[in-house]
Amino acid sequence: MRIPVEMSFKNVESTAAMEGLIRERVDRLKRFHRGITACRVSVEAPHRSGNADAVSHRVRVEVSVPGKNIVVSRDRNFPQEEYDPYTAIRAAFTAAESQLKSHAGRMRRGRRHRVGPPHAVVERMFPDEGYGFLATRDGRQIYFHKNSVVNDRFDELEPGEEVRFEETDGDEGPQATTVAPIGEHGSHEMT
């Protein structure tokens, strides 16, 4: 899908080559973020700088992505004989690409979910019989046998301690096949 582009030119003569460069750079933005919904580009030569032999150029690129507008503005001064609005356009798009790449990276990091065994809390222990029950976050009770506790730490478990576990269907309901205490550094509060 092509990104909708809105272009405006102020005190600058629009050329087919300039519009082509802008469209090319807008299409290239898709490499850095897939969710772009629109792009607005403004090219203007607002004034001559204090030096009568120089021309000032301002290029503003506004890229819309879900939940955010990324705006980049670049001003360039050129000696009259080296006047090149294309350089200002490229500089603004390079900055926009950098911001889009950074934004897309933050979005990916924000979506990461922890993958691993579920957590539960030791609810009840029956040390003489060699089994106990875990309480999961969703309120279920999971049976576990002392042989399922890693490193033979069954005797060290206490009610309220958080553990990781692997679950299977037992003859009488859900059963933990592996129970591993989390310990100090991996402790998370159960709610």
What are the tens digits of pLDDT across the range 100-121?
Answer: 888 777 666 655 555 567 889 9
- Confidence grade of residue 183 (pLDDT, cut at 50, 70, 90): low
Q: Looking at residue 188, what is its pLDDT?
A: 44
d(CA 64, CA 69): 5
| CB contact at 8 A, 93 and 140 | no
For 153, residues 6+ apart whose C-beta sits below 8 A from its C-beta are 181
What's the number of domains the chain is made of? 2
106 residue type, one letter: R
Q: Which residue has the higher pLDDT, 157 or 47?
A: 157
pLDDT grade, residue 186 (50/70/90)?
very low
What pairs with residue 165 in β-bridges?
A: 179
Tokens at 155, concatenated: 């005797």
Q: Which domain holds residue 84?
A: 5-111
Higher-scoring residue by pLDDT: 19, 79: 19
Kindly state whether residues 32 and 83 are assigned to the same domain. Answer: yes
**Same structural domain, 12 and 73:** yes
Q: 28 by DSSP, 3-state: which?
A: helix
